[in-house]
Each structure stands twice: as structure tokens, then as C-alpha cells.
């Protein structure tokens, strides 16, 4: 049965002459969980107007596409609050990692957690994002670093998508850190490429493969091995690149046709050009920059000039950004990185969808796409980037159905 949403102002986020793809006095028709029609209410075909099974009055609210958080590590166990205290005393993120803390401390807690515990600890994190209109979320593994624990994280991500009205896009991040039982990182990369990746592909456990290319993680050569294996199995790739140093990660990601390269604080001009040529999305993670008290900002102007699309994501994780808010990241993308509010919102809708390879299904209010959208109590879409710890979300619709508010 078709449903109709009327009396709404649309920020379709479709590129064009109108900022935000704005349509005042809009209407949106939903059929079978998809957007059947979207446009000016006056242009609504009479068949749709008269045949609608139910008409919703948006009471003049703004409607945007459902938000897309295209980079999270929200399935994990434990907390790193004690490391936060250490860092505030002057110990760096890299030093903590070299001492066996950091990612490895979350690996210990995550390995010790069963599926039920992992799901229970991750649910509130996901609910918090969803309460602000997130309808699609990417979730990475990477805190198991051995087959059973990595796959348990991915199973937890799948379970979350069964429990909550949200689309989960799982990513395999086996090459996140060198696990303690390996003396040689290359041996671990052998296991990732030879054992884990084939199983990920065979069991369809993840849509894409990520890696952490950094001084405290894996070299460009090791990363390239992971990408070779992933591409050979038909899996998409993406990369944690140039976060703490310039390791040529952006160019490496582009060389393998990566969907996205993420972080990018230290990305050089060659990396920008390579990303532009490959169509690789730049995923900006201002929350991690903020929480690690970094000072080097990603080359946003360079991305703009080269036409590299920029997405904005939460990076929700226990070490560098224990965030429960994507709207806060929009604010930080503007205040810390200099994005415009329109760029920030495009970064959490249209370009985040592209970073997940899902731009044909989600990310804009367009006929044929999934009916994932949000009604907001705001006077202008810039307010989504303006508030700090403010949640103006009124109603979330996913695949055409109103999501019941769930406790945080
Ligand atoms: O995106 N950079 C690597 N991975 C995460 C942090 C992981 C952690 O510290 O637990 C990130 O910042
Ligand atoms: Fe990350």
C-alpha cells in the first residue's frame, strides 16, 4: 500500500542549483519500502494523491535522507577510559599502543566476550546513533585478530541488524593490529590473506575489507598484500590511511580502487590526485582528530579543488573516538576541518552512501531509492551541523516504516 508524506520541506541532497537539493512544500510517496515519487506537492500525480493508503502530515518539518555512518568500530567489549586518563597526563596514543595497550587492550576484552555480551555492550552505542536519524551504519571487525573472534564481531554486527531497524554494512578489518601471539607481522598477514579472507568471502561475512596502514600497524607493502587478496576474492577495499603520519596510504588505497580512504590528516598532494582519479571517497573523522588532540587537519581544500567527495563519519570506537553522535561529527567537521554545513550533511548522506558503494540505494531523497528518511524539528538544514549535543530528530522512517523510538 502506498503512503504519502505531505507538508514537508525536503533537503533531498540531490546535487543541483538549490543548496541541499531543497524543495519547499514538498511531498514524498512511498511504495514497498522505496521512494516512489518525490518533488513539489503541487506536481504530485493525482493517482498517487488519491490512491495513497495513508497520508502523513509532516507539519512543515524538514526531511533529509536517513543519515549514513560509513565508518564505525562499534562492536567491541570493555572501555579505555583509563587510557584516556593516561593520555591526558601526556602519554601519546602511539606510545600506549607500543606498550601493548590501545587496540590490543580492546582485543583482550573482545576475545573474552561471548556473542551475547558483545551484542549487549554494542546495542546502546548503535541505539545512540540511531536516535539521531542514522538508518545505515558500517561496522568493522578488528578487535579479534584471530578467526573466531573476528567472525564473532561480524556475527554480532549481523545480530544488531536483526534486533534494530537499521541497515548494517559489515567490514572485515583483520589487519587492524599485530596480535600478541605473532612475532612477525608478515606471518599474521599470511593468516589474514590465506585463512581469514577466503572464509570472509565464502561465508559473505563482510562487504568490504579494511586495513590500518600506519607506523603502529601495517606497512604499505603488508597492506597491499591484504588488498591483493581481497580484490582477488571480489571484495571491495578501503583503508585507514595517513592518520598519524604520511605513509602514502591515500595513493595506495586509490591504486586498488578503494571505495574510501579514511582519516587522511597527513595525506599529500599525490594522494589527493590519485583519489580523485580513482573516485575514492575521503572519509573525514573529526571526532578522532578531536579526541586524540591532533593538530594536523586533513587537506580539505585540496580534496575540494580536486573534486574528491568528502564523507563524515563517527569512527565510533573505544580508543580514538568513543562517540555516540553523528550530528556532533557534522559540527566538528565544520568547526575543526572547515566544511560547510551543506558539505557536512552531504558527507553523512550522499557521500557516505558512496563510501559504502550504496549510492544507488541510499543517500539522497530520490525516486527508486530506499525510503530511509528523517523528519527534523529544525528551521534550516544548517542546524544539523550547528547544535552541540542537541538532537532535533522527530521521526525516523526506514524502508518506509516509522521506527519506534527505542531507549538509548
Ligand atoms: O579509526 N586507527 C585505527 N583504528 C581506530 C582506532 C582503534 C582504537 O584505538 O581502538 C581509528 O581511529
Ligand atoms: Fe577507524
Give the Å distance between the CA of 103 and the centre of ligand 1: 7
* 153 grid coordinates: 564481531
Give the Å distance between the CA of 50 and the centre of ligand 2: 48
Give the Å distance between the CA of 283 and the centre of ligand 2: 10
* Atom in ligand 1 nearest the alpha carbon of residue 143: 10
CB proximity list for 221: less than 8 A, separation 6 or greater: none
Instruction: State the chain's maximal CA–CA distance in angstroms.
Output: 69
**pLDDT (0 to 100) of residue 51:** 85
Give the Å distance between the CA of 16 and the centre of ligand 2: 32
**Cα 9 from Cα 389, distance rounded (Å):** 24
Q: Mutate which of 84, 214, 240 to test ligand 1's pocket (most atoms within 8 Å of Cβ)?
A: 240
Of the CA atoms within 13 Å of residue 118, those in its CB half-sphere come to: 30
Give the Å distance between the CA of 159 and the centre of ligand 1: 23
* Site residues for ligand 1, CB cut-off 6 Å: 73, 102-103, 106, 212, 240, 243, 288, 315, 317-320
Q: Which ligand is nearest to the CA of 320?
A: 1
**pLDDT (0 to 100) of residue 366:** 98
Q: Mutate which of 102, 266, 313, 320 to test ligand 1's pocket (most atoms within 8 Å of Cβ)?
A: 320
Q: Which ligand is nearest to the CA of 138?
A: 2
Q: Mutate which of 79, 97, 103 to test ligand 1's pocket (most atoms within 8 Å of Cβ)?
A: 103
- Residue with CA nearest ligand 1 atom 12: 320
Running along the chain, 408 residues long, what does each successive block of 10 average in pLDDT?
A: 92 97 97 97 92 94 98 98 96 94 97 98 98 98 98 98 97 97 98 98 97 96 98 98 97 98 98 98 98 97 98 98 98 98 98 98 98 98 97 98 75
Give the Å distance between the CA of 72 and the centre of ligand 1: 9
**pLDDT (0 to 100) of residue 49:** 87
The model's pLDDT over 19-44, given as tens digits with 9 standing for 90+, comes to 999 999 999 999 999 999 999 999 99
Q: Which ligand is nearest to the CA of 294?
A: 1
**pLDDT (0 to 100) of residue 24:** 96
**pLDDT (0 to 100) of residue 406:** 64
Amino acid at each position: 500500500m502506498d503512503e504519502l508524506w505531505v507538508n514537508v520541506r525536503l533537503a533531498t541532497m540531490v546535487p543541483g542549483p538549490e543548496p541541499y537539493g531543497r524543495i519547499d512544500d514538498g511531498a514524498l510517496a512511498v511504495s514497498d519500502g522505496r521512494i516512489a515519487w518525490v518533488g513539489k506537492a503541487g506536481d504530485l500525480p493525482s493517482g498517487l494523491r488519491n490512491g495513497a493508503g495513508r497520508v502523513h502530515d509532516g507539519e512543515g518539518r524538514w526531511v533529509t535522507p536517513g543519515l549514513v555512518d560509513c565508518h564505525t568500530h562499534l562492536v567491541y567489549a570493555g572501555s579505555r577510559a583509563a587510557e584516556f586518563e593516561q593520555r591526558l597526563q601526556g602519554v601519546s596514543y602511539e606510545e600506549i599502543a607500543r606498550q601493548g595497550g590501545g587496540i590490543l587492550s580492546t582485543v583482550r576484552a573482545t576475545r573474552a566476550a561471548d556473542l551475547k555480551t558483545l551484542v549487549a555492550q554494542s546495542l546502546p552505542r548503535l541505539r545512540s546513533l540511531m536516535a539521531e536519524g542514522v538508518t545505515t551504519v558500517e561496522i568493522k571487525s578488528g578487535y579479534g585478530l584471530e578467526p573466531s573472534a573476528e567472525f564473532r564481531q561480524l556475527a554480532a554486527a549481523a545480530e544488531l541488524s536483526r534486533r534494530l531497524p537499521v541497515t548494517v554494512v559489515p567490514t572485515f578489518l583483520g589487519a587492524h593490529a599485530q596480535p600478541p601471539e605473532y612475532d612477525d607481522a608478515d606471518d599474521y598477514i599470511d593468516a589474514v590473506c590465506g585463512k581469514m579472507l577466503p572464509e570472509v568471502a565464502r561465508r559473505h561475512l563482510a562487504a568490504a575489507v579494511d586495513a590500518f596502514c600506519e607506523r603502529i600497524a601495517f606497512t604499505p607493502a603488508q597492506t597491499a598484500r591484504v588488498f591483493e587478496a581481497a580484490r582477488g576474492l571480489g571484495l571491495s577495499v578501503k583503508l585507514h590511511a595517513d592518520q598519524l603520519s604520511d605513509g602514502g596510504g591515500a595513493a595506495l588505497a586509490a591504486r586498488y580502487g578503494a571505495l574510501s580512504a579514511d582519516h587522511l590528516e597527513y595525506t599529500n598532494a599525490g594522494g589527493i590526485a590519485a583519489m580523485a582519479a580513482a573516485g575514492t571517497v575521503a572519509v573525514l573523522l573529526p571526532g578522532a582528530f578531536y579526541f586524540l588532540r591532533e593538530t594536523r587537519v586533513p587537506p580539505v581544500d585540496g580534496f575540494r579543488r580536486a573534486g574528491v567527495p568528502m564523507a563524515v563519519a563517527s569512527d565510533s570506537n573505544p580508543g580514538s573516538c568513543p562517540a555516540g553522535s553523528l550530528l556532533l561529527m557534522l559540527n566538528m567537521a565544520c568547526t575543526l576541518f572547515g566544511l560547510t554545513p551543506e558539505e557536512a550533511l552531504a558527507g553523512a548522506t550522499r557521500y557516505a552512501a558512496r563510501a559504502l558503494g550504496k549510492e544507488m540505494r541510499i543517500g539522497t531523497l530520490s525516486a527508486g531509492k530506499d525510503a530511509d528518511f528523517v523528519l527534523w524539528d529544525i528551521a534550516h538544514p544548517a542546524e544539523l551541523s550547528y547544535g552541540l549535543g542537541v538532537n532535533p530528530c522527530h521521526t525516523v522512517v526506514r524502508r518506509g516504516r516509522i521506527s519506534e523510538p527505542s531507549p538509548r
